[in-house]
Amino acid sequence: MWPLIVATAFEAIGYILRELAIRDRYARTPYIVSQVVIVMSPAFFAANLYMLVGRAIVYVGPGYAILRPSLITPIFVGLDILAIATQGGGSGIIFGGSDVDRMKMGRMVLIGGLFIQLIAFGVFLLLAIYFDWKTTVALRKHVAFLRPLMNAFYISGTLILLRSIYRAIEFITLDLTQHPINSYLYNTEWPYYVLDALPIAVAVFVYNIFFPAKYLPHTKHERLQADSEIPLKNGHSHV
């Protein structure tokens, strides 16, 4: 769960600095850092979701998933790291600069990072749904204990997707030719809290109720019992 700790730490730092920036409108550093870390933090949360579902696949059996767990981490966490880097770099250029052309370049980088995160997480969500459906049909009561954890994943994953869509629309509609920057979503407070702060807060809170340690084994070496395996056509079975 360490990426979730990083994500919530970034959120906390971001909103503390946001409050400082509101109190001192001429202090640029708190404003820039707050924008960067708040934009980046959900990507760390997404990485945590990749790891959780990957751990569930390892425990139940990789034969029930389209991708093996050994591929999930390098592919999706790798894309997530790319999303974090581009979002952080792009937001730093936008909020730390005054040159319009440079700010437009930063916006393209930031939007690219958001779309990388959206596409990667959307594909992963489909893979998780397939794994959930396959195990539910094949194993039934043997995987019923995972249902709360998978439901928590769907809730938090949907909220992260909605938040990323809001952020993408916000930055696409920015008018960087005006000073200060002009956009309804950027200049209005309620969407920021309703469509960003609240979804992320709920997504985190879900795991305070459905803590993964209640549903997953404490080591990566434990496996579901052999009597609940799916037989393959060649007579062998997935573990």
pLDDT tens figures, 48-57 = 998 898 888 8
Give me the DSSP letters along 144-180.
GGGHHHHHHHHHHHHHHHHHHHHHHHHHHT-BTTSSS
Q: Which two tokens stand for residue 191?
A: 């969407």
pLDDT at 130: 92
Q: Which residues contact 11 (CB under 8 A, 6 or more apart)?
A: 37, 38, 41, 200, 204
pLDDT at 181 over 60: yes
Least confident of 20-24, 58-62, 220-224: 220-224
How many domains would you assign to the chain? 1
When pLDDT is cut at 50, 70 and 90, the band that residue 225 belongs to is low
Instruction: Please report whether residue 174 resides in a domain.
Output: yes
Q: Which two tokens stand for residue 180?
A: 């200060």
Instruction: Please report whether residue 104 resides in a domain.
Output: yes
Q: Which residues contact 4 (CB under 8 A, 6 or more apart)?
A: 44, 45, 48, 204, 207
When pLDDT is cut at 50, 70 and 90, the band that residue 69 belongs to is confident
pLDDT at 24 over 50: yes
pLDDT at 200 over 70: yes
Average model confidence (pLDDT) across the chain: 84
pLDDT at 205 over 80: yes
pLDDT at 232: 37
**The domain containing residue 150 runs over which residues?**
40-216
Instruction: Please report whether residue 227 resides in a domain.
Output: no
Q: What angle do CA 183, 38, 89 make, to 5 degrees?
A: 80
pTM: 0.82
Instruction: Please report whether residue 28 resides in a domain.
Output: no
Instruction: Please report whether residue 226 resides in a domain.
Output: no
pLDDT at 128: 92
H helices of the chain, where? 2-23, 28-60, 69-72, 78-96, 100-139, 147-172, 184-187, 189-192, 198-209
Measuring CA to CA, which residue among 82, 166, 177 is closest to residue 120? Answer: 82
Centre a 10 Å sphere on the Cβ of residue 189 and count the other Cβ atoms it contains.
7
What would the mean pLDDT of 149-155 be, rounded to a whole number? Answer: 93
What would the mean pLDDT of 197-216 be, rounded to a whole number? Answer: 92
pLDDT at 138 over 50: yes
What would the mean pLDDT of 78-107 be, rounded to a whole number? Answer: 83
pLDDT at 148: 92
